Structures are given as structure tokens and as C-alpha cells.
Structure 1
Amino acid sequence: MKVNPLLFLWALPALLLTSCTDKCEETRTVKRFVPITLTLRQVREGVRVEEARTLQKPGKIYTKDGYLFINEVKEGIHLIDNRNPESPRQIAFLRIPGNGDMAVRNNILYADSYMDLVAFDISDPAQPREVSRVESVFTNGQFEGGSWVVNTQNVSLSDQRVEYVTETVKTDCDAVGQWSSCPNCVFFDGFANAGSLSSPAPNTNGTSGSMARFALYDNFLYTVSQSDLQLFDIQNAAKPAAHNRINLGWGIETIFPYKDKLFIGSQTGMHIYDNANPANPTRLSTFEHARVCDPVVVNDNIAYVTLRNGTQCGGFTNQLDVIDISSLTNPRLLKSYPMQNPHGLGVDFPNLFICEGANGLKTFNAQSATDIKQLKHLTDMNAYDVIPLQKTLLMIGRDGLYQFDYTNPSQLRQLSKIAVKRPY
């Protein structure tokens, strides 16, 4: 039978229309940003000590003299007695509006509170006491992919409250699994360093994870924003004073001090700064890469950099780059190793630990930079950042703080866990 070609062409649009109007249902979890406005007075009067509380949205981790400091994203800091890693004891919660980072020198805790840097005396860790504040030194920042900014009148700031919403929506069948229109939404892909603090040794610093934006060196506290390195003179530890500000370029994420150098991770590369003059670090070189998120740690003449994609990071790369920095002015890639979605990392040579986000935690033997061998992969956790510390590994993730004995890195032994109230 012959088919009239004109009749076929007439019927084709109807067939296409029918296929395009088929509807399917898709259930998804989205991260929604709800605008809020806070006065600067509200922020500054919001600091207070509260009873210990459960973790809800843990972020950065820090440790000093057997105590842990865990950031509760944008809300404050959990103070935890960890002198017995098998039985950590939560002792207080320090509410700090807009907090994301911290550092500790001697008995002074430095923390950001949106636009301000605040110093606390933690001689008694259960009763932190605000001792000074550098006001309006930060003008903007970012939490969980949402940004905040101080308004031009300098009396209020605009921020965003994050809500995680699970919803079922109608979609075109052909579009299921693809991103579809959702104003103000971002699809959730996981994550957007024994003793007593009462008698610290002179000029002792704590230890941070690889995701840190705060670092201590000599008489200075260094903080990085998305584009600047802000220095604070802490010769008088209890009274930090704003010092030099250095433009670093776009997409700055992390800072890692090593000897008299600063290694700064950005979305476009690893920057190396000479810190011989701590009051004025100078750029030596940049190791460039495609746009991705990029924390870095260093051991001897080797830098380890994890590159990952995601909603906030862009790009399509998930790998570990091992970089020869024996020539600080000419860093050279030795080898790249494929990863799943690497986040924070830590090195206690030859042990290397890499957080794979929703894909768990991995341990490696990094004795040979060009032949790094995987030893262990724990998959039943969401890993964000780590601190290797005297055979005890601290790991923070979406579902809480884990501690492992890594005497045998091929067989991590879990010592304890502080669980979140509700994973998000």
C-alpha cells in the first residue's frame, strides 16, 4: 500500500505533540534559599554561651590541646572535651551568628560572625568569654552556596536561610533526571589540627582541616574571603587588629600554611605565597586547573590537591592531583588519580586520607607520589573533611563527627561518633 507523503507530514506534528505532553512524576530534594535581613546590632548581640546541644549542620572542624571545636554552619561552635577520643564529651555551645570558621592561639578562640572577627577567652572551655571584636572587616561571604552581603548603609546585612525541601513534581517524561526550572533552588549534591586549655604553653596554635579559611602564622591570623587575604595582627592575642589586605583573585576557597609558605586553594588553581615577611605575603606562582573546588594539603615537596565538580563548584573533574613543589616558582603535575567526588583531605605521611562526600572515606599509602595505593574505603558515611592527629583521625560529615584509630591505615578502627540530630 502506498502512503501519501503529504498525509504523513500532516500527521507528524500531532504525533510529536502527543509524545511531548506525556507527564511523569519525579520526587526530588532541593536546597531552597529564602532571603532574610538582619541588623548588625542583632548579629552583635546574638553571641552567647548555651548548654551543649546536638549537632545539626556540622561544618568546619578544629582541635587544640585535647579539645574539639565543631562549627554549626552559620550558628556557632560546639566545644567538646576530647581528651579521651573514645568518649568525647560535649561541654558547651557558643552561639555566634554567621559563623563559618575558627582558629585558636593559646587560650584565645578567633571566629567570624558575618562581618566581624570576634575573639573569645576559652581558659575555661565551658564558659567562653568575648574579649574583643574587630567590627565590619568582612563585607560579604558564602554559606552552603548562598551569599550574604552587608548593605551599603552599613546597618544591616542580607542573607539567605537554607531549607531542604522534598517534593514531587510533574515533569515531561523525557526530562526525568534532568534539571528543570525551580526559581531560587539548587539541587542538593552533598557538601556545599591532651591537655588543658586553662594552662596553655606560650604561642601554641591548634590544627584545622583542609577546608579552613583561617590560618595562624607568626604574629598574624590570615583569613581568606572569595577574593582577598585579610591579615590580623595578633601580637596581643586577645586584641586582634586589622592589618594588611591582599587581593588574591577570584574563587578563593581555602588556606593551608606550611613552613613559611601559604598554599591557597581556589576554583581555578593553587596559589603559592612566600611568607618570609609574615606581614606581607607575596605570590610565587599558581598551578592552574579547570574550574572546580580545590582544597590542598602539603608534605615536604609534594602538594596534594583534590578537584571536584558539583552545584557550587562547576566543572566536570573529580580527581586527586599530586604536584611537585620542589621549585615553588614552577609547580609541576606529577600524576592525577581519578576520584568519585573528593572533598577535604589530610596527610600524615605516608598516610593520605580523602573524603569522597556521599561516597565515603578513603585511605591511601602515598609513599610513592606516582604510585599512590588505596588501602581502605569506608562507604557507609558522608565525609566532608579530616584532621589526622597522632594516629587518631577526626572526620566530619553530614551525619556527624567520627574518630578512627589509624595505627593500621588498612583497617581503620572506629573509636567514637557524635551523631547529628537529623542528617540534612
Structure 2
Amino acid sequence: MKKLMYLFFMSVICMLYGCNDDMKVKETITLTVNKPVLMSADAFRSSVKVKTQPEEITQQGKICFYEGYLYISEPGKGIHIIDNRNPSSPSPIGFIELIGNADVAIRNNMLYADSYVDLIWFDISNPALPVLKNRLENVFPYAFPPIEEGTIDYPMCETAAANSQIVVGWTQVEESYTTERYKDQEIYYDSMVNSSGGNSGVSTSVNGSMSRFGFYQNYLYVVLNNQMSIFDLSGDKPVKAVDNMHVGGNVETIFSYKDYMFMGTPTGMLIYSVADPLKPEYQSMMWHVYGCDPVVVEDDIAYVTVHAGNNCGQNFNELIILDVKDVKNPQPIVSYTMTKPKGLGIDNGTLFLCDDGLKIYNASDPQTLMANRLAHYSGMEGYDVIPHDNVLMMIADDGIYQYDYSNLKEIKQLSKLAVKK
């Protein structure tokens, strides 16, 4: 996530050696400021609707697969439910209208979702008729709608929270102010953008690489910006197990592997041990150029994509592969220049990558990955994937694509469920 940063190098020099007013210059800076659009907490929390009639998907979002059904989180709107027991003919069966939803994960027929500042859950024993159970309020205090550019008026947001109001949107205004600096002092401005292990007998969903929700034992881990929230799911309802934990790095994605959480941030991959589930312990960080990056891991090999874009801060597009057998000292293996990679998935040595559509590789030898491309489907902008039981599910800008990869020599498309543009 980009931040508003002022680096005052000359100020340090002046502190050491002294400066006078002749060295000062005045500048007027104009910023795009996002003012919050507010909704009362009561209206916000009473707005949830479970609909037995499906609605058209109009925007790609996070994907989740659980026991034959796909759950698509359309940003800010809610969750589409799709009967995918026959991936050749997926059938939308319902929709959960949920303001501020961005992520979803499922465990033992209980669907957990965020709704801006709240965690909310549904019983999906009957996927066609989810039952709203309850919510935990204000557990994600810094969850805001995404912005396209500019800065957020945080004081207004804090005042809104104190008055039991929820930020549900933004209006943009231009604000100017005059600042004073010393000549030759470098000032950098960058807009602040909000990008916004299982146990025996426990069934959990398979999530795409862009997810901010991860399970380990009886716990749900949720990352948002630089905070990690941990919820105990062992009882009748989720309980916030500990205070939010600062993990740094403006975490965007999380991937559970063995006793570790691998987290993607704009500046690198973070690794935390959750061997003690309530006391995640920092292990290491792999730094890379500033960019947006999900991560997946298989057989102690981590695959990280870094992509450019308005929210990512640079023009590098790479696939980075690392050896993470020693989580305290991950070792780079190789990196490849890509077109604009986003989500990815790995299944038994086969790598699926959203890049210029969908690319599929034999990843048995990372050093020869580019020479072992199995397939390339273009003409769409892939966002994220889930490989499961020889079926690859991909959400793209124009639809949900599914492929049969049971025979890697003859990968074939099974279906496409269109997204309305």
C-alpha cells in the first residue's frame, strides 16, 4: 500500500550544521482527499439479505471452494453461491447481500466473511439457503472501502466511529496547503491507496491466493493492512482470541502451510510461525521491489508474483521462486519476468498462473520452468485460481473459467460462467 511520505534529509543536515531563512522555500501542495460517506451502524448491520435467487456477477473478486460449491466475493456487494458439483455446467443458486464484503472462508459448514469492520458468519449446511447466525462487531477497525487515488481523511473516519457510524464510501475533494522546506530538500509524495492446517474431522474451504483469510487448527487468521486478527472457532461461535497483532508490511494475502503463515505484502513475503496459535512468531521476510504479491507454497517451495499497476507502485512484473525449507532464511531460486501476473496456485508440481490470461507450467524444476509451459489460454484477464481435484477454477475479468487438468498433456476447458461487464 502506498503511503504519504515526507523525507526530510536537509532537516538533518540543518540540525547538525545549522541553516538560515535564506535557504527556505514555500510550496503549495494540492491533494485529493477522500471524505467518508457514512451509514448508521444500525442500518449497516440490518442490511444483510440472503437471496434464494442468484444475481449476476458484475465484478471479479475473491474465490472460495467448499464441498462442491463455489463462493465468489464480489467486492463491497456480497457473496455469490454457485453449485459446482458439475464443473462443466456450474449453476448460480443464490446470493448473500453483504455491504463491505471482501473475503470469505468456510469451516465445518460455517461461512465466515468480513463486512467492513465486522466479522459475520452463516450456516451453509444447505448452500442454497444460508442462515445468518451472528456477527462480531468492530473487530476490523481500520477496514475501509478501497479508494482509487488520494488520501483518506482519517480524523473524519475516527469521529464517525465514535458516533457509531460506518464508512461505506468516499467523496473526493481537492485540498491545498502551504508547506515550507529548505532548498534542495527532497520531498517525496505518493498517494495513500487502500488496496484493499486442518485437523482430522475438520472440513475447510480451499481459497484462492488473494485471500486474507487462513485457517490453522481451530483458529481463523485474518490479515488487513498491518494487523492480524485471530479468532477461536472451537466453540459454538467465533471468539476473538487475542488483541490484534501488528505484523507490519501492509499485508494483502495469507497462505497457511504446515505450521506457518506466508503473507504477501507490497514489499515482500513475510513468514510467521503459528506453532503456538495465539502467539504468531516472526521468522523472516523476503524483500522485493514494491508491488502487489500473493504467495503459495508446496513441498517447501514458495511461488510469489509481483505485479505492477495503479495500486502497486512500480512497473516490475515477476514470478519469484524461493526455497523456504529453512523459514528463517528463505533462499531465492530463480525469478522470471512476466506480463502482469496476479493470482496463482500449485498442485502436485503443476503451477497455474494468472498472467496474460492463464499459464500452466510443470514446476518440478524451477530452473527450467519457462521451458516447461504446458498450456497458455489468452483473451481474458485472470485474477485468481483454485486448483482442486484435477479441476482448475479461475475467476477473470469476464467470467469464471474451469479446466480439466487430469491429463496434463490434454488440458481442456470445461466451462465459462460469464461476468456481466
TM-score by length of 1: 0.79
CA contact (8 A) 2:116 2:144 kept: no
Match in the other structure for 1:168: none
Q: CA deviation at 1:260?
A: 1.0
Are 1:141 and 2:143 an aligned pair? Answer: yes
**Amino acid across the alignment from 2:49:** R
State the shift of 1:116 in Å.
0.5
Please give the per-residue CA displacement for 1:180-235, whole angstroms capped at 9, x wherever unaligned.
Answer: xxxx9x9xxxx989xxxxxxx94211100000000111111000001111001111
Give the match for residue 321 of structure 1: 320
| Structure 2 CA distance for aligned equivalents of residues 192 and 377 of structure 1 | 29
Q: Which residue of 1 aligns with 2:179?
A: none
Q: Which residue of 2 aligns with 1:371?
A: 368
Alignment check: 8 A CA contact 1:376 1:411 kept? no
Q: Which letter does structure 1 place at the counterpart of 2:364?
A: Q
- Name which one, 1 or 2, has greater alpha-carbon Rg: 1
Q: Give the Cα separation in 1 of the matches to 2:419 and 2:170.
A: 19
SS at match of 1:125: coil
| CA distance in 1: counterparts of 2:415 and 2:45, whole angstroms | 35
Residue of structure 1 equivalent to 2:286: 287
Contact 2:147 2:170 in 1 (8 A): no
Offset at 1:145?
4.3
Q: Could you list the runs of 4 or more consecutive aligned residues of structure 1 that deviate by over 6 angstroms after TM superposition?
A: none
Counterpart of 1:264, as a letter, is: M
Q: CA RMSD in A?
A: 2.5
Partners of 1:222 and 1:231 within 8 A in 2: yes
Aligned equivalent of 1:230:
229
Which one of the candidate residues 55, 77, 85 is aligned to 1:75?
77
Aligned to 1:23: none
1:109 to 100, 108, 111: 111
Measured in 2, the distance between the counterparts of 1:162 and 1:346 equals 37
2: distance between equivalents of 1:420 and 1:33?
A: 29
| 1:241 partner letter | V
* Equivalence for 1:241: 239
Which letter does structure 1 place at the counterpart of 2:48? V
List runs of 5+ in structure 2 lacking aligned partners. 1-32, 173-190
How far apart, in 2, do the equivalents of 1:38 and 1:134 lie?
18
Q: How many residues matched?
A: 357
Aligned-pair distance for 1:321? 0.4
**SS of 1:58 mapped into structure 2:** coil
1:154-303 correspondence to structure 2 within 5 Å: 154-160=163-169, 202-236=201-235, 238-244=236-242, 245-303=244-302
- Work out whether 1:49 is the aligned partner of 2:46: no
Cα shift at 1:111:
0.5
**Is residue 43–residue 113 contact of structure 1 (8 Å, CA) maintained in 2?**
no
User: For residue 166 of structure 2, what is the amino acid of its counterpart?
Assistant: L
Counting aligned pairs with the same residue, the percent is 42
**Structure 1: gaps spanning 5 or more residues:** 1-31, 164-183, 194-200
**C-alpha distance in 2 between matches for 1:303 and 1:105:** 25
Measured at CA, do residues 154 and 139 of structure 1 come closer, stay the same or move farther in structure 2, by a change above 3 Å? farther
Classify 1:35/1:121 alpha carbon distance in 2 versus 1 (closer, same or farther; 3 Å): same
- Which of 76, 96, 99 in structure 1 is aligned with 2:98? 96
CA distance, structure 2, for counterparts of residue 343 and residue 285 of structure 1:
23
The alpha-carbon deviation at position 53 of structure 1 amounts to 1.1
* SS in structure 2 of the partner of residue 225 of structure 1: strand
Counterpart in 2 of 1:180? none
